[in-house]
Homo-oligomer: A and B are copies of this chain.
């Protein structure tokens, strides 16, 4: 068997981890007290304000239980409000606070810079090629390839 350290998936995981650390560190350096995953959820709420939590979970590719807990923290930390939904009591009405909006706004500036730094020196064509490849892997791995 191929050595672990040369296997493609090992490198994939390694890259994701280093990138996450880099990303999180850039948040910290720039004075943002929010985790990458919390930002991801907050941002998704902003993009799709009327989504159910389950929809959000699907969009960000997280478990719904994770989303519940991340939203809990976003509420605790003052980025989000969670109220009973006016028409469907199974759902919650999520509202982004002032602090949340400011954070999103500022991070909308910062995040592309972080991404760009991470991809520095890499041809856009390589990125596209890699994207296609990742999509293919997902196809191969998805359980019910519906």
Copies of this chain per assembly: 2
Among B21, B119, B122, B138, contact of A14 (Cβ-Cβ < 8 Å)? B138
Among A17, A40, A43, A137, max chain B CB count under 10 A is at A137
When distances are taken between beta carbons in the complex, the residues of chain B under 8 Å from A126 are: 129, 133
B12/A112 in contact, CB under 8 A: no
When distances are taken between beta carbons in the complex, the residues of chain B under 8 Å from A47 are: 3-4
Among B18, B108, B130, contact of A142 (Cβ-Cβ < 8 Å)? B18
Minimum CB distance partner of A22 in chain B: B141
Among B13, B122, B142, contact of A16 (Cβ-Cβ < 8 Å)? B13
Give 27 CB contacts A-B under 8 Å.
A1-B111, A4-B40, A4-B43, A4-B47, A4-B59, A4-B60, A5-B59, A7-B115, A8-B130, A9-B16, A9-B23, A9-B115, A9-B118, A11-B131, A12-B12, A13-B61, A15-B134, A17-B61, A18-B141, A21-B141, A22-B142, A117-B140, A119-B140, A126-B133, A127-B133, A129-B130, A130-B130
